[in-house]
Amino acid sequence: MAICRARVRAGALLSLFRHYSERACSSSPISSNFQNVGFIGLGNMGFRMANNLIRAGFNLAVHDINHGVMKMFSDMGIPAKDSPLDVAESSDVVITMLPSSSHVLDVYTGPNGLLHGGSIVRPLLFIDSSTIDPQTSRKLSAAVSQCALKQEKDDWKKPVMLDAPVSGGVIAAEAGTLTFMVGGSQEAYLSAKPLFHSMGKNTIYCGGAGTGSAAKICNNLAMAVSMLGVSEALALGQSLGIDASTLTQVFNSSSARCWSSDSYNPVPGVMEGVPASRNYAGGFASKLMSKDLNLAAASAKDVGIECPLTSQAGEIYESVCKDGHESEDFSCVFRHHYSGQDEL
């Protein structure tokens, strides 16, 4: 089963795991209808999100195709299950954090998937935090709603699904400061808040099924276009004889100020602690931005909306990826598309 592989180096991952393990030992469990949590997809984001749930006192069971990461959890006494179905059979709620719509569909409906047990399931709640298209989120929500619970609990008469993608990246996942954009039942959203607040600091209810996924792709579309605009302007400024740091000061004191200029500047040497200061290592990979722009373009086509900036941004990121920079942070367009220069 194709599930997200952890992409961080083994040594760094082990060090981070020990750090979380020490923090987890000092935490006391919290009361929750969802005390038994299954987590599927232990990549860069999921690994950190799962560990924050452990720290908060939830009882976790995990699954991933990366056996090395699974062993790290099992060595700490966290059950590592052989399949998504095995996770579902021991969980009150299951959270998935996967790379694409096809991976999510496979985990839910494939062989030994979360819903493979038939029309009766144990989990009260399914939460998908992957970035996927709204249509797939709605399809899975409908499939979950057709199932029955093995055991009804309190006001839960049927299982429910929430689409709850996140914003903030690896840094926020590690710090537990993610923002969750949530679609689905509002009652389920309110019940799940203790889970969200264990992994993030902001939760925004967006509406019915699929609206969380829609909010995420719209957010990433705006982020991509913003980064391209800032990169283009800074590269032009350099060609006109203005230092990027000076022009950044102008932006951040004027109407051009935005996240791409004041918090995630794309010019190496202008800002510390961002991917541009690490040769564009880490952060949000260009290939993921390209994927999300494709999702936005497909959604726009489905509803008959003209989105020319989506198309142009998608072409730029596709080109950057084809040139071999797919694993670099998406702010690398400053260097690889606009030929911008480092700040000395």
Instruction: Report the catalytic residues.
Output: 216
Contact 137, 217 (CB under 8 A): no
Helix (H) or strand (E) run with residue 258 in it: none
Interatomic CA distance for residues 57 and 51, integer angstroms: 10
How far, in Å, are 109, 162, 241 from residue 145 at the CA level? 14, 11, 60
Q: How far apart (Å, rounded) are the C-alpha atoms in residues 316 and 285?
A: 14
| CA–CA gap between residue 240 and residue 343 (Å, rounded) | 15
What is the C-alpha to C-alpha distance for residues 21 and 73, in angstroms, rounded to an integer? Answer: 9
Judge contact between 333 and 228, C-beta under 8 A: yes
DSSP string, 7-68: -S-HHHHHHHHHHHHHHHHT------TT-EEEEE--SHHHHHHHHHHHHTT-EEEEE-S-HH
- Report how far Cα 244 is from the mean position of its chain's Cα atoms: 31
Interatomic CA distance for residues 133 and 136, integer angstroms: 6
Cβ contact 317:289 at 8 Å: yes
